Chain A
Amino acid sequence: EIVLTQSPGTLSLSPGERATLSCRASQSLSDNYLAWYQQKPGQSPRLLIYGASSRFTGIPDRFSGSGSGTDFTLTISTLEPEDFAVYYCQQCNNVPYSFGQGTKLEI
């Protein structure tokens, strides 16, 4: 089973700042099938990034993903108030399609 470790657990920033979230896999994701999701309180997760670096439909361009192999990053270039949420990475290379434990982005 591939284990995903996200860091930091909590990230405290202000609107207008840049956020960098990390996701590390216990083994290489050969096809870079790494996705990022955003979840706000009381809501379902929403797909932001797929294939490590491609933005999903309707996702603002302030969200970007990068990385390959075992190390992946989600960057939010300029934080908007609505971006404060929990972010999860997920590997879709191998069953079980594990999630990271999440990073809470707080003001």
Chain B
Amino acid sequence: QVHLVESGGGVVQPGRSLGLSCAASGFIFSSYGMHWVRQAPGKGLEWVAVISYDGSNKYYADSVKGRFTISRDNSKNTLYLQMNSLRAEDTAVYYCAKWGAVTMSLDYWGQGTLVTVSS
């Protein structure tokens, strides 16, 4: 079965950097696009970024463009999100999610990792 496990969350000061990882199993990772979605405490879902199956295409939400970088290592079945110049408003639970080639939606999600940006 599909399994996605995020890691790397924690408390970080404004302006600093943090990197998240998402370990994937149970499917052919190198065949699917992958996304990051975040959820601020008590708020709704916000789409953050997507990367194509081979890493050649990447798109970002305007709110993170130029500060966040999505990447992947298909040899390690792992998705990454490098977050730079962090702001208080980046505080959220960050989920990785698998793109469904048939469903054209996010068909499986990880459990999320909490990032808190605070001095």
Contacts and interface: CB of A to CB of B under 8 A. Distances in A.
B100 interface: yes
Nearest to B111: A44
Contacts, number: 67
A12 B104 CA distance: 31
Interface of B: 35, 37, 44-47, 50, 59-62, 95, 100, 103-112
Interface string A30-47: 010101010100001111
A46 B46 contact: no
Nearest to B107: A47
Nearest to A1: B62
Contacts of A95: 50, 59
| Interface secondary structure of B, over-half rule | strand
Given A95-B50, A97-B47, A98-B47, A45 B104 contact: no
A84 interface: no
4 pairs of A and B residues whose beta carbons are closest in the complex: A35-B105, A50-B103, A44-B109, A50-B105
Contacts of B50: 95, 97
A99 B14 CA distance: 26
Interface string A83-107: 0000010101001111111100000
A66 interface: no
Nearest to A57: B107
A98 B61 CA distance: 9
Given A31-B104, A37-B106, A99-B37, 16 more contacts: A1-B62, A33-B104, A37-B45, A44-B95, A44-B110, A44-B111, A44-B112, A45-B106, A45-B109, A47-B100, A47-B108, A51-B105, A96-B61, A99-B45, A99-B47, A101-B44
Given A90-B47, A97-B50, A47 B61 contact: no
Contacts of B95: 44-45
The listed residue with most A CB atoms (<10 A of its CB), out of B37, B100, B104, B108, is: B104
Contacts of B46: 99
